[in-house]
Amino acid sequence: MTYQTWKKLVYPKDWPLVLGFIKHAQETGEVSAEFRVVWPDGSIHWLAANGRMFFDDVGQPCRIVGFTEEITPRKLIEEELLRTKEDLRASEASLRLTVDSIPGLVHTTTAEGKLEFVNRQLLDYFGKTLDELKAGLRTTSFIR
């Protein structure tokens, strides 16, 4: 495959990234890149390219030896995991807002009485940070 043929396959939004990979390969000889391509049917796929760039006697690139593999399934899983993490962060933020709006002292503890989670009102009540509370307060202290 020629450079021009390959270049036409690269997903347009990934071209600046690919240019960075090419520059790195020209400086180091190392080829290592992950990028998207558009197949003739219009479908978008992820590829990983690894190999070595070789140079002629005057230092110009003359060939690349390596391999390219399709990594679309892995990238789809990574994207789903990223979306899941973002959803969890949003849920966590929503839960934090809800719990902090409760006009009372809220906390969760381990079976041993060690604090795991507190709301803002509990921190304000004791005038301490969460780390300070975790270091010196056990819910068993309330029982005595």
Question: What residue spans in the chain does CATH classification 3.30.450.20 cover?
Answer: 3-70
Q: Is the pLDDT of residue 139 over 70?
A: no
pLDDT band at 144 (very low <50, low <70, confident <90, very high): very low
For residue 121, give Cα distances in angstroms to 17, 39, 95, 138. 48, 57, 15, 17
Q: Is 118 exposed, middle or buried (0-12, 13-18, 19+ CB in 10 A)?
A: buried
Q: How do residues 52-106 score in pLDDT, each as one tens digit? A: 999 999 999 988 899 999 999 999 999 999 999 998 899 989 988 998 899 899 9
The alpha helices in the chain, defined as continuous H runs, are 3-9, 15-28, 72-100, 120-126, 130-136
Decide: 115 and 134 in contact? Cβ < 8 Å. yes
Q: How many residues are listed for the chain in this entry?
A: 144
CATH of domain 3-70: 3.30.450.20
